[in-house]
Structure 1
């Protein structure tokens, strides 16, 4: 079941013509629904086969994005963006929920930076004066290729002269749902270390989609970088497990995965990667996993040298406990795709799309 926020939406006082990238992902779909519900005219540039493994065909996308006008093209090709996407027409705003699928260097620079740079240039030619960009809170402490790629485009957008809103969400519900079925089957909840190494304020797709859509009208969010999490206190992985066990009516059971083990795996793969591109790619993904196992998805206080939950803004109404309850009841589906803290035991690369 897809949650529909339209009944709760306030119509925009200034309906716009909005061009959307990244519309077929779960957050992109939520954003499109919020934009349409607020009365905007929404045009989405999508691939002819989208989703993980190209599973979504045009009819599927039309069903998932009601009220939006779909155009088919390639976001990594300047000509396609112009001819298939903007088509020489005028638009008021560009909203992007586009993100690289794996976070690996080649993918990140092609999508998180390259595709966005091309889209920005095409948008300016189409008269666009405003852009809302979905980024990631983890770019505060950049160590990974996709973080540097995202930051490179953030800088380009800020310098462009467009009115911008750069939204840096914390963790997504889907990223923290990888162990629901595992625990339902009676297995322990896996944590790195004692499960208290990191914390986050997870936000739902619906709440984030609404937040992104509201950026078009809320002048307080213009020309700002906007970290945002969901409602409530920051929670650790251990607390996530406790929530899940409580919903199942069971005593909590945890199994610790040493963080040093992940570091060792990364080093071994990096060494072997000199001889095998496939292993080099796995080493890169292990590095991404290590980052998310050791860094909180909260606002970083550089002066204090720590993450600050109190300084991390909250938005929306839906909690992770609500989401777990709906998953267990079967009233929502698991749309993790490439976003899972533990598919077996690997953290999500973004905490962030």
Structure 2
């Protein structure tokens, strides 16, 4: 997710290696991936349909039975389609929706997870309890064909899609195109509500993935304005816990805590994956979240990198030791990469990665007060019960297992 906050371990991750240029994997032959698999069993069946190729870019709900009245039904009678279900937040969203009793259909790649390392069976196990549909959200025709095999309407679409790399083309392919494909396909099955996992950093769009997210947000709002029976909830979370834990092991080993400038350039109110999943699940039925942009952070006050580092040293019982890196170092690197991109266009993503790192090193993941033009911790809503201190304590004990930065190593 790109609402991630830059870990101060930036220099231990960014090296412009091929690892940073890895693209998210997807099914390459979508017409062979048109399988609907209930994850609690093994039967597989496929169904071939012929969608109208001229209707790919028009949004039309095909079922009047799946109107906003779904909110009056029991969760077991409500079908929620989740795209991006195997991502960092997506898998917790699926788990929370199932816990609340919804019928969940999860659209996943045949090879999911970090760098596509999870097999189909591992995905089925991870999403147990939901109906798993293996398809390609980047291919509108394939997604439509696969979803048509459901044989039932969809009430709500929840999108947890996000570009894995933040690269220019990948951002538009996932954060805009694939997300729009999900909206189109869901609407054809009667979906009347769309919950979008966006990012709080789109308030100040300087990066390609932010522009892609904002373009889709605008089209989502336009669809609700066009069709009074359609609603949306746009969730903009602050930092995720995993993006702040990258230095725990380094500090445990006696190394300094790395931060940019004086450590006060940026602040955040990080939220755990469980708490964010709970908030997203609330958006399915809560009428007070209809047709709203919903910034959300975790409990407690906003914290700067300096304060996060001080907390970590206190929990470890060590004397604070900081390494302060001038932000100008990143500006120089970005300038050099921009220059090289003009000569070698293939370096476009490398330059974008540098800009992403610079953004998270300097910009707070908080609500941007339109009156003052400043970030405000007070105006950033809090939700949940999990705290960053508890997360640090757990990582100190157990390590970062399950919290790997994966393909977003730049974060």
**TM-score of the two chains, using structure 1 as the length reference:** 0.91
Shift in Å, 1:39: 0.3
Shift in Å, 1:335: 2.0
Per-residue CA deviations over 1:72-128 (Å, capped at 9, x if unaligned) read 010000122112234353111000111011122101111100011111111111000
Pairwise CA RMSD of aligned residues? 1.6
Q: 2:214 aligns with which of 151, 168, 191?
A: 151
SS class of match (1:191): strand
Superposition pairs of residues 170-209 of structure 1, within 5 angstroms: 170-209=238-277
Partner of 1:351 in structure 2? none
Deviates more, 1:51-60 or 1:120-129: 51-60
Partner of 2:60 in structure 1? none
> What is the alpha-carbon distance in structure 1 between the residues aligned to residue 400 and residue 257 of structure 2?
21
Asked if the contact 2:89/2:273 (under 8 Å) is kept, the reply is yes
Q: 1:121 aligns with which of 168, 175, 184?
A: 184
> What is the alpha-carbon distance in structure 2 between the residues aligned to residue 146 and residue 299 of structure 1?
18
Asked if the contact 2:257/2:323 (under 8 Å) is kept, the reply is yes
1:83 aligns with 2:151: no
> What is the alpha-carbon distance in structure 2 between the residues aligned to residue 319 and residue 108 of structure 1?
30
> What is the alpha-carbon distance in structure 1 between the residues aligned to residue 320 and residue 278 of structure 2?
34
Shift in Å, 1:338: 4.2
Partner of 1:315 in structure 2? 383
Superposition pairs of residues 216-295 of structure 1, within 5 angstroms: 216-295=284-363
Shift in Å, 1:223: 0.8
Shift in Å, 1:337: 2.6
Asked if the contact 1:165/1:226 (under 8 Å) is kept, the reply is yes
> What is the alpha-carbon distance in structure 1 between the residues aligned to residue 243 and residue 314 of structure 2?
20
> What is the alpha-carbon distance in structure 2 between the residues aligned to residue 272 and residue 159 of structure 1?
39
**TM-score of the two chains, using structure 2 as the length reference:** 0.78
> Which ranges in structure 1 are unaligned for 5 or more consecutive residues?
1-11, 349-353
> Which ranges in structure 2 are unaligned for 5 or more consecutive residues?
1-71, 225-229
Q: 1:70 aligns with which of 132, 150, 165?
A: 132
Per-residue CA deviations over 1:210-266 (Å, capped at 9, x if unaligned) read 100011111111110000000000000111111111111111111011100000000
Partner of 1:211 in structure 2? 279
Asked if the contact 1:174/1:339 (under 8 Å) is kept, the reply is no
SS class of match (1:272): helix
Q: 1:137 aligns with which of 200, 206, 219?
A: 200
Q: Rg larger in 1 or in 2?
A: 2
1:160 aligns with 2:223: yes
The structure whose RCO (Cα within 8 Å, separation 6+) is larger is 2
1:61 aligns with 2:129: no
> What is the alpha-carbon distance in structure 2 between the residues aligned to residue 42 and residue 137 of structure 1?
26
Asked if the contact 1:62/1:70 (under 8 Å) is kept, the reply is yes
Partner of 2:47 in structure 1? none
SS class of match (1:216): helix
> What is the alpha-carbon distance in structure 2 between the residues aligned to residue 34 and residue 307 of structure 1?
31
Deviates more, 1:175-184 or 1:12-21: 12-21
Shift in Å, 1:280: 3.0
> What is the alpha-carbon distance in structure 2 between the residues aligned to residue 336 and residue 285 of structure 1?
18
Asked if the contact 2:260/2:324 (under 8 Å) is kept, the reply is yes
